[in-house]
Structure 1
Amino acid sequence: MILKHPHVRRPKSLRSFNDTQLSLKKTGLALGISSAMFLPLSAMADENLAAPDTGDEVKVLPEVVIYGQRQESNPNAEVGAPYKAKKSADSRHTRPLAETPQTISVLTRAALDDSGLTDLKQIVGAQPGITLGTGENGNAFGDRYIIRGQEARSDVFVDGLRDPGMSTRESFAIEQLEISKGPNSSFAGRGTAGGAINAITKQATLDHDFERVSASVGSDKHRRVSTDINKGIGESFALRANALYADENVPGRLPSERSRKGVALSGLWERDRDLSVTLDYYGLRTKDTMPDLGYFLVGTVPNRVPATNVPVYAQTGDFLKSNVDTLTARVNWTLAPATKLTSLTRYGKSSNSYVTTGAMSGTRWDGATGAAYTTAYIDSGHTGWQDINYFAHQSNLRMDRQWLGLKHELILGAEFTDHKVVSGTFALTNNGTFNCKKTAGAGTNDTFCFTDSAGRPVADLTNLAGRTSTRLGYNQDWKVKTLALTAMDTVDLTDRLTAFGGIRADHFDLNLIRRNNLTSVITGDYGYTDTLVNGHFGLTYKVTPKLIVYGSAASAQDINGGEADSGTSSGYGGAVLYNNQIAGAKPETSVNLELGTKWNLLNDKLLATAALFQTTKTDVMEGADYDTVGTFNTGKNRVRGIEFGLSGNVTDKLSVQSGIAFLNSKVLGSATATNIGKPLSNFAKRSASVQGKYQLTDAISFGATARYESGRCGGQPDTAAGFTTTGECAQPVPSFAVYDVFAAYRFSRRFDVRVNVLNVTNKDYFTAVYRNGAFLYKGDARAVRVALNYEL
């Protein structure tokens, strides 16, 4: 028989159940104890078990097997459906996900674990409707996401607060990952033209204790150890600690290496069910040694293709580092039975730095003979550092009321943020000897080439330049303070019809100082203030208690100079200047219209979704010609599409997390007339992912993941892709399909092993391209991971 326990406060003697269904064999005294504990259920047992003693021969009773499931530490999970989340962790979403008039894709902890992916860039990039970008404008800070064709590198949130550090992000402390599709500044504030990514962290809980350790090894010298320990202290305190140590060679790209070290501590004090305070610390140290910028494109259109068999050309001194430290305080206070205050306060610091090397292929000359030949060559390098300090506070007051005979779920919110980013570069010194020439004829060599004129490769490519780096002073000081006020209301108009409305006003003060970091001379001091007002409105109609249809409209705005890493590179979100002053450019405005349906199936264990949408972005700052007033907001584009999703249990044994997106983009207006009618850059028309897991027996499970992305064309953000006059893409990223497999075996209630084979066909595939084709990020080669998971 199957026994499911309720989610109750933890008695001190209660031990947590395991991650998957368990098989606990009860005999003798244990059977007697179990029978007493579950007395109400014993009445349903076979009547032969309850027959009185008649003096006949004693019969040996069959073995009784009891299955249980661990209480999830994630309070937002759907019980019994490991791949399905029931609700958003953002308290401003007052209804379950199945009743929310917006496309929100949620990845649970179980789905993340089974996938075998750990870096947030890998996880997010595998989702439909999302593509990855390179470090544009020569910078390589952190991860770059593009949601539904719109830049989202600064639209990453942690527990509902914007995370301004452009860092490399890891998943070890994430309980679930929520990806909102479509502009929605009423929730997130500035930016979010294509959507937002919200990482929900693991929090201390008094519900139950657990101590879990996971250790994995694999190909490419992969080593990873993580712990997740939660302990209640008395009736009011709980502590939770997550720790991570991981390093590996980049699969297929030795000697490039990645290392990740982190700790996440959470402490909970709960006076009672009405008042609790949580204090968190999160620290992460990431380092990529000799970070690989992948391949590059060769040939000319229409035969522009990725180069083949490119060796690792990163130089020995290259690196990509990210350090993050944050402190967060949370207060949940029920002031009255229908009034609740939720408050978050965070202070954080992060530092990012990089020295990387790119490469291209072309004609070079032998300095001694003047002979021309085709070879690959490394560039002069790319460097940067940034130090980020930020403070954020958000309070939301929820009041459930009956007004004019209607049920209202009203939320009033206030948010203050103070983000500061100081950035600069490194000076590079080449100690190696140039071995080729970039201009025709014989003469002094001035370039580092992969081969000589006879086609012979250099002996030690990764030490060819012999580079050393020295950190210079800052060349940019960027800061923005924002005060936001929010009002949202969810109203049941009838038993079937519900309306949602939200409005948010953001008043910001932006300052940007530009400085020559060689002479320390200030070259620009810019600043301005403005107020953004955005809204969101949705209607849902319950066709049946489990099936809704909805319509929604939402807006979002990007501000002039809103990207801290772009300075005055206006085409990348940097500040638009005019006469050496920050220009009076309008905010870029996106409006999303969406029609959708959501259907809770199979006793609420499976959620099916479909959404038809259109996002129109106006007043786009293209970075074209700003010498004349009135040319600041010259662009306009549109994205249309349909997206389907399925998450949860298809059967008692089969779990799925899947989605597919069909998108179409078009430039509707531009200062460059030839751009009109073309698709957006870095835009995939079709993308899909499916992750499925089958529980063959109580001990054995297996599954697979498949993801597909159609070909796309590189270019500058927010502008047309780089097409030639004949309609050929100048910087193409080929389509790809990648497959992963995994299997797990549970030895006991406490111990299991999982094997993941990533990119099982060892396919060469590419995830992003720089606008001139110099960087063509390569996906990881085949990798095997074996993880041992033990619950103490």
Structure 2
Amino acid sequence: MKQRISSAKQPRSLRLRNGNGALSGAALGLSAAMLAPLTAQAQSSEDAASQVTMPVVKVQSTRIDPNPNAEVGVPYKAKTSGDARHTRPLAETPQTISVITKEAIDDSGATSLTAILDAQPGITLGTGENGNAFGDRYIIRGQEARSDVFVDGLRDPGMTTRESFAIEQLEISKGPNSSFAGRGTAGGAINAITKQATLDYDFTRLGTGVGTDDYRRITLDANKVVTDELALRVNALWGDEDVPGRAPASRSRKGLALSAFYEVSPTLGITLDYYGLRAKDAPDLGSYMVGSGTQRKPYNRAPVYVQEADFLKSNVDTVTARVKWDIAPATHLTSSTRFGQTQNGYVVTGASANTIRAADGSTYTAATLNDHSGWQEVSYFAHQTNLRHDTSLAGMKHELIGSVEFTDHKVDKGGYSIVNAGATNCSALNARTGAYTGAWCVTDANGNAVNGVNSLLDRQITKTARTNDWHIRTVALSAMDTVDITDKLSAFGGLRLDRFDWSLGVTTLATGVRTAYSYSDTLVNSHLGLTYKLTPQGMVYASIASAADINGGEADAGTSSGYGGVVLYNGSVAGAKPEKSKNLELGSKWNLFDNKLLATAAVFQTTKRDVMEGANYDTVGTFNTGKNRVHGVELGLVGNISDDLTTQLGAAFMKSRVLESATASNVGKVLSNFADKSAFAQVKYRVVSDVSVGSSAKYESSRCAGQPDTAAGITNGICSQLVPSYSTYDFFATYRVNKNLDLRLNVLNAFNRDYYLAAYRSGSFVYKGDARAVRLTLNYEL
């Protein structure tokens, strides 16, 4: 790895080889020249009566991290946010922002965004059906967040499979965040900071992984300084595996991220990026609920029933241009423009327990198959420009930021025509008609998988025409200021205005008739925070922030208003107001051990009002009638406890409650899909200079499946669709073979626990966590 010495101090041609712990000949020569006078003096003193003993000079190097936001020498700790609108270090920001660095991600062995985020405190997974992406759906502090994913500060609207190979760090903002992110973000937002080309270093890193369940993964991360002004970086991915313990369900990934940086002048730089991902799965929906009433629970012997024709595909292509311009010493402009296209399509199989009639007339319970399918094509354009100006007003330092943002998002949605040509093998009760009809059973009367379970349906699949076309254009203006009122007291204020034009076209395939709906509105949200430094290392803060969710804001839901789609009434968009959230937070942050360890604690309360309710939120009298509250405590500890011990710890203890509802019996109940306790710990210990061992553990309490923003299905204090609590444990070890080569061994779900991530509201499928997996990764640095 080559390090570029700052042009303000040295010519660019002078480089220092430092990536593998070895200094270059030029650097050694420089050191020798500096020590020469001392050496000569020591030599001449040998004839003297007393001999001078020179102190030992120890040169120690640390692998350079190309992440500009990293805390130097602390692999799990980020110092700053990748969002330029956060002008202060994370330890001085009056908000809960959890950051997961690339090294922490690598050590964990997790590769998908879903697996990484599921481990984080306060975040649970949701399920989807038809237009919703399976699994890639997040709930933050009890609030839907599947559309609140951002990449480098710009919203990423495609409901796709997301990967980590091109991510430098993940930032999770907790609590309503619309002053930064715009509409939505009722529980928070997820911002992925991507790897960028840099003029500072040359490096090439190749990773190759193998493991159980036919796991194979190859990654490349290479940066090349082409000239003094131009740098190129490439990240590539190829991966394939069976779902641990659930073959023939499988996952396949191919990815490419290209970045070019051109320094026009010392004050002006331009970056151009491309990101592409091809993900294809043979998806496994896991298990299903069995039992009745309050005794329903996931079936722990569910066979793998994925069918041969099943698929879940995501294709992503985005191009982003960025400009950073230091207009003056106190004035800085950052601008980002992105165009992207994504395609997401799937035909997957679900299973649900039914009453089966045997040939002799007796009945038993077995699982029968059903279909879920849909496709989406997304195109989007986004532009954001931020202008920062640092000044002094009334004797106080101000960091002023003005922003303008324009987004244009379009989503076409349709489905598939599916013919199941396979012969039925059982007779199942139709709950609606009371009659027994032919069905496909995956288990027999004893609960064992039937023969040929993965080829029962013999599917014939045809993509159908578009049924929904969703479109939203938004123009946003925001102003932010961070001001030092005194040496110890600082304040942050933010105000954002979003003006949007929303439309939806619904086409009836049988007739070809398209019905159009549209409306416009303006959202205003704000954020205010105060910080007080108790010591140079620690501070306390208080903040209040708001957010707003619009009617029909979930692009993948169309008119399925129960999933966040538009509420229609009497043939037009219902007169529903935006759902509004407000967050109150008190917290403290402490930079310990020479800024190598960050300890955080926060007490928060989020109240959401004007919630739309009802079976599909479109029942008369249920517009904006709901109100709910989530409050709790979140704790965090990240960084180096000692030179040899690195950790990332977090825990969230929360309570939810429905405060108002059109259904009186819902008042006082907890929210659906809400885990009130969650915790994560990842610890790494360096045994000797070249060997480290580590472990991670996550815990999530039980939660009750149901519709977002509504009361859980609870009768006499017992949930009717319970997802049990779970704990899992992982282990890893790293060995640095030499200056170019290191090995990492990961054992995931080491004790092979059965656990469940989320359940669909009817219980017809329950996502099952991966079984034990062992992976060995070889990392080679050229």
TM over 0.5: yes
Contact map agreement 2:268 2:325 (CA 8 A) in 1 = yes
Contact map agreement 2:293 2:720 (CA 8 A) in 1 = yes
The one-letter code sitting in structure 2 at the alignment partner of 1:599 is W
Tell me: CA distance 1:278–1:435, structure 2 relative to 1, closer, same or farther (3 Å).
same
The one-letter code sitting in structure 2 at the alignment partner of 1:225 is I
Work out whether 1:292 is the aligned partner of 2:284: yes
Tell me which residue corresponds to 1:474: 466
Contact map agreement 2:4 2:12 (CA 8 A) in 1 = no
Tell me which residue corresponds to 1:783: 773
Tell me which residue corresponds to 1:67: 60
CA shift, 1:658, in A, is: 1.1
CA shift, 1:35, in A, is: 6.5
How far apart, CA to CA, are the structure 2 residues paired with 1:665 and 1:454? 40
CA shift, 1:362, in A, is: 2.7
Tell me which residue corresponds to 1:237: 230
- Quick one: which of 694, 697, 702 aligns to 2:688? 697
Residues 407-453 of structure 1 show CA distances to partners (whole Å, capped at 9, x for unaligned) of 11000000000000000000101110011122389998421012455
Residues 620-656 of structure 1 show CA distances to partners (whole Å, capped at 9, x for unaligned) of 1123487776531111000000000011100011111
The one-letter code sitting in structure 2 at the alignment partner of 1:297 is M
How far apart, CA to CA, are the structure 2 residues paired with 1:95 and 1:753? 36
- Quick one: which of 105, 123, 141 aligns to 1:148? 141
Tell me: CA distance 1:750–1:371, structure 2 relative to 1, closer, same or farther (3 Å).
same
Work out whether 1:520 is the aligned partner of 2:512: yes
Tell me: CA distance 1:577–1:495, structure 2 relative to 1, closer, same or farther (3 Å).
same
Identify unmatched segments of 5+ residues in structure 1. Answer: none
Contact map agreement 2:99 2:169 (CA 8 A) in 1 = yes
Residues 32-82 of structure 1 show CA distances to partners (whole Å, capped at 9, x for unaligned) of 96374276689999x9987745599x9999998642112211000000111
Tell me which residue corresponds to 2:28: 34
- Quick one: which of 345, 356, 375 aligns to 1:353? 345
3-state DSSP of counterpart to 2:428: coil
How far apart, CA to CA, are the structure 2 residues paired with 1:430 and 1:465? 5
How far apart, CA to CA, are the structure 1 residues paired with 2:35 and 2:554? 60
The one-letter code sitting in structure 1 at the alignment partner of 2:564 is G
- Quick one: which of 375, 382, 388 aligns to 2:378? 388
The root-mean-square deviation of aligned C-alpha atoms, in Å, is: 2.7
Tell me which residue corresponds to 1:714: 705
- Quick one: which of 494, 497, 520 aligns to 2:486? 494
The one-letter code sitting in structure 2 at the alignment partner of 1:34 is L
Residues 285-329 of structure 1 show CA distances to partners (whole Å, capped at 9, x for unaligned) of 00102x000011212354322212211001110000000000000
CA shift, 1:371, in A, is: 3.1
Contact map agreement 1:292 1:312 (CA 8 A) in 2 = yes
CA shift, 1:31, in A, is: 9.3
Work out whether 1:755 is the aligned partner of 2:749: no
- Aligned pairs, how many? 775
How far apart, CA to CA, are the structure 2 residues paired with 1:588 and 1:414? 24
- Quick one: which of 97, 111, 119 aligns to 1:104? 97
- Quick one: which of 590, 593, 599 aligns to 1:599? 590
Tell me: CA distance 1:268–1:576, structure 2 relative to 1, closer, same or farther (3 Å).
same
3-state DSSP of counterpart to 2:556: coil
Tell me which residue corresponds to 2:124: 131
Stretch moving more, 571-580 or 454-463: 454-463
CA shift, 1:698, in A, is: 1.5
Tell me which residue corresponds to 2:541: 550
How far apart, CA to CA, are the structure 2 residues paired with 1:470 and 1:119? 29
Tell me which residue corresponds to 1:652: 643
How far apart, CA to CA, are the structure 2 residues paired with 1:48 and 1:761? 64
3-state DSSP of counterpart to 1:81: coil
Tell me which residue corresponds to 2:245: 252
Tell me which residue corresponds to 2:355: 363
How far apart, CA to CA, are the structure 2 residues paired with 1:307 and 1:313? 13
The one-letter code sitting in structure 1 at the alignment partner of 2:542 is G
3-state DSSP of counterpart to 2:201: coil
Contact map agreement 1:139 1:383 (CA 8 A) in 2 = no
Work out whether 1:14 is the aligned partner of 2:6: no
Work out whether 1:668 is the aligned partner of 2:669: no
- Quick one: which of 95, 109, 114 aligns to 1:116? 109
CA shift, 1:751, in A, is: 0.8
How far apart, CA to CA, are the structure 2 residues paired with 1:105 and 1:409? 23
Tell me which residue corresponds to 2:307: 315
Tell me which residue corresponds to 2:221: 228
Tell me: CA distance 1:456–1:117, structure 2 relative to 1, closer, same or farther (3 Å).
closer
- Quick one: which of 401, 408, 431 aligns to 1:411? 401
Tell me: CA distance 1:293–1:39, structure 2 relative to 1, closer, same or farther (3 Å).
farther
3-state DSSP of counterpart to 1:124: helix
Contact map agreement 1:540 1:549 (CA 8 A) in 2 = yes
Identify unmatched segments of 5+ residues in structure 2. Answer: none
Tell me which residue corresponds to 2:726: 736
3-state DSSP of counterpart to 2:271: strand
- Quick one: which of 521, 529, 542 aligns to 1:538? 529
Tell me: CA distance 1:99–1:295, structure 2 relative to 1, closer, same or farther (3 Å).
same
Residues 447-468 of structure 1 show CA distances to partners (whole Å, capped at 9, x for unaligned) of 1012455777421001011112
Tell me which residue corresponds to 1:587: 578
CA shift, 1:193, in A, is: 0.2
How far apart, CA to CA, are the structure 2 residues paired with 1:141 and 1:41? 63
CA shift, 1:673, in A, is: 1.1
Compute the TM-score of the two structures, normalised by the length of structure 2.
0.95
Stretch moving more, 256-265 or 429-438: 429-438
Compute the TM-score of the two structures, normalised by the length of structure 1.
0.94
CA shift, 1:273, in A, is: 2.7
Tell me: CA distance 1:53–1:508, structure 2 relative to 1, closer, same or farther (3 Å).
same
3-state DSSP of counterpart to 1:122: helix
Tell me which residue corresponds to 1:81: 74
Tell me: CA distance 1:51–1:682, structure 2 relative to 1, closer, same or farther (3 Å).
farther
CA shift, 1:783, in A, is: 0.5
How far apart, CA to CA, are the structure 2 residues paired with 1:442 and 1:78? 65
